Amino acid sequence: MTDATVLIVDDEKPTRDGLRLALEDEFDCYVASNIAEALNILRSEKVDVMLTDLRMGADNGMDLLEKALALPSPPIAIMMTAYGSVDTAVEAMHRGAWHFVTKPLNLDEVELMIKRALKSKITEKKNIVLEKENQELRQQRGKPNHGLDRLIGSSPAMAQIHSMITQIAPTKATVLIEGESGTGKELVAGAIHSLSGRPHNKLVTINCAALSPQLLESELFGHEKGAFTGATQRRIGRFEQADGGTLFLDEIGEIDQATQVKLLRALSEKTIERVGSNTVVKIDVRVVTATNKNLRKMVAKGGFREDLFFRLNVVQINMPPLRDRKEDIILLANAFLKEFATENNRETKPLTDDAAALIQNYDWPGNVRELRTAIEHGVVMSNKSVIDSIHLPQFLKELADISPNTEIVSSEAKNTLAQTPNLNLSALEQDTILKALQHTKNNKTVAAELLGISRRTLQRKIKEIDQEKM
Ligand SMILES: Nc1ncnc2c1ncn2[C@@H]1O[C@H](COP(=O)(O)OP(=O)(O)OP(=O)(O)O)[C@@H](O)[C@H]1O
Ligand SMILES: [Mg+2]
């Protein structure tokens, strides 16, 4: 038994008694049948979790919620609601309830919900302490370290990228940055420029995929007045704009063959010619390029000039996908929590353990960009002092949501699962259990939550499946 206390508030005696019976093995339980009784207990006892009905005869659970949360040490509130009044439950959450359960109650689910609520409170406290320590650390550290500070990550892979950037930034070597979309290639380009020793000069960026071949050429090298239809004025190109600084060519894999030839010439001769001009202009530009393609493979297939590839690929930086450096996820998430809190004029809220587990178990095909968007979603959606799994985008919640609406486990399957032990497990039940285990990568605790049963029940059912198979 934990030393946590739970207050059960319901006007129906059978519900009160049923809940007390189910919960008293694990928690110290108090019961109340109306608001006045509940408030008396809340004022005189330490109550960790209050489990209250929304409709209790003349009393309204919402009133109790408001009064309870206004107490000096308020309980975590979980609302019980009849099937079909989920709207009211959601409103209760907006008013500060932690979560809700629907009636008829699934006792396993209620127990799990209380445990999660208790855990989230502990996380909250822990995170407040952590955040304070972090703040102090940051103050001690003082000035930010230019571009590298923005490139968050302490995984071995990111540490290696940091040291590589520090080493090559002050040189003039061209750099090719390869990596999946959203891995931070543009940030790396920015960091290289910041540490290049030429940061007072410009970083000029051009996205090669966004322009037609003719426009790209004139954007890169500029043009003279009358060079082509529409060239009404002389125009300086990006190479000249970046003179003395860095030119970042993003999506370099997209440039056409003719521009590849001109780019190669510019790089090897360190000169350019504006379109429509014979004058040669000397340029002093550090070139950094990026692509989410594999340029070497493109060369092998004839889609990219080999000589240009060697010019661009003097130094290559490979950005690892986020799924290969899961250690960085929480660090990144915390930075984004702060960023979006500031942007939305809110205080920075920590993630609960559940939310943290959720983001760590996901594969992030859209890499850091996708994580950043998910955290922004959480910051905007959270109406509490923490960001919990329910505030994160739907695709993540599906992994471990204990709400009865989860799409992975149908309600039909849940009903079967919640029934008494059955040695002859139905095919539907077996299938659902196996799916849940597969989905959670064999994490039985999360799988049990997903299935709406206790871990113990799940263990037993797994054993039964094993026996049936023998
Ligand atoms: N290590 C990191 N630390 C902090 N923020 C990051 C990091 N990596 C990426 N980001 C953020 O993720 C988003 C995507 O990063 P970026 O634009 O650099 O990716 P990319 O690799 O250039 O993607 P694409 O190939 O789609 O252009 C940006 O908002 C960026 O600030
Ligand atoms: Mg980019």
Asked if the structure places residue 168 within a domain, the reply is yes
What is the number of the ligand closest to the CA of 333?
1
Residue 354, pLDDT score: 92
Question: pLDDT at residue 257 above 50?
Answer: yes
The predicted model gives 346-353 an average pLDDT of 93
| CATH number of the domain that residue 380 is part of | 1.10.8.60
Q: Are residues 164 and 310 in the same domain?
A: yes
Q: Are residues 300 and 155 in the same domain?
A: yes
**Whether pLDDT at 306 is above 80:** yes
Same domain for 10 and 66, yes or no, is yes
Task: Give the rounded percent of residues in the chain with a pLDDT score beyond 90.
Answer: 53
Same-domain status, 174 and 26: no
Share of the chain above pLDDT 70, in %: 86
Q: Are residues 40 and 18 in the same domain?
A: yes
Q: What CATH number did the domain enclosing 14 receive? A: 3.40.50.2300
- Give pLDDT, residue 254: 94
Q: Is the pLDDT of residue 171 over 70?
A: yes
Decide whether any atom of ligand 1 lies within 6 Å of the 185 Cβ: yes
Whether the CB of 179 sits within 6 Å of ligand 1: yes
Residues 294 and 351 grouped into a single domain? no
Q: Are residues 109 and 196 in the same domain?
A: no
366, 400, 434: which is the final residue of a domain? Answer: 400
Residue 381, ligand 1, Cβ within 6 A = no
> Which residue's C-alpha comes closest to atom 27 of ligand 1?
181
- Out of 75-79, 232-236, 264-268, 293-297, least confident range: 232-236
**Residue whose CB lies within 8 A of the most ligand 1 atoms, among 369, 371, 376, for a mutation test:** 369
Quickly state the pLDDT bin for 144 (edges 50, 70, 90).
Answer: very low
Residues 88 and 28 reside in one and the same domain: yes
Q: Please identify, among 264, 295, 320, the residue that sits at the C-terminal boundary of a domain.
A: 320
In this predicted structure, the answer to whether residue 420 has a pLDDT above a threshold of 50 is no
Question: Which element (helix H / strand E) includes 271?
Answer: strand 271-273
252/86: higher pLDDT: 252
Confidence grade of residue 175 (pLDDT, cut at 50, 70, 90): very high
Residue range 28-48, pLDDT digits in tens:
999 999 999 999 999 999 999
CA neighbor of 383 nearest in space, from 92, 51, 62, 47: 92
Output the CA torsion sign for 411, 414, 420, 422: positive
Same-domain check for residues 366 and 433: no
Backbone phi, psi, residue 124, to 5°: -55, -45
Q: Is 368 in the pocket of ligand 1 (CB under 6 A)?
A: yes
**Is 414 touching ligand 1 by the criterion CB < 6 Å?**
no
Question: Using a 6 Å cutoff on CB, does residue 183 contact ligand 1?
Answer: yes
Q: Output the CA 142–ligand 2 centroid distance in Å.
A: 29
Q: Which amino acid residue places its CA nearest to atom 12 of ligand 1? A: 369
Judge whether residue 406 has pLDDT over 60.
Answer: no
Q: Would you say the CB of residue 198 lies under 6 angstroms from ligand 1?
A: no
Domain limits for position 159: 151-320
Task: Name residue, tokens 């505030």.
Answer: 391
Whole-angstrom distance, CA of residue 46 vs CA of residue 186: 52
- My answer on whether 310 and 201 are in the same domain is yes
Total tally of structural domains belonging to the chain: 4
* 362 and 417 belong to one structural domain: no
- pLDDT value, residue 232: 80
> Given 107, 124, 141, which residue is the final one in a domain?
124
Range name among 94-103, 214-223, 300-309, 381-390 with the lowest pLDDT average:
94-103
Of the two residues 376 and 441, the one the predictor is more confident about is 376
- Position 159 in a domain: yes
Count of all residues that appear for the chain in the document: 470
Q: Assess whether 155 and 296 both reside in one domain.
A: yes
Asked if residue 14 lies in contact with residue 22, where contact means CB atoms within 8 angstroms, the answer is no
Predicted pLDDT at 360: 93
Residue with the larger pLDDT of the pair 399 and 434: 434
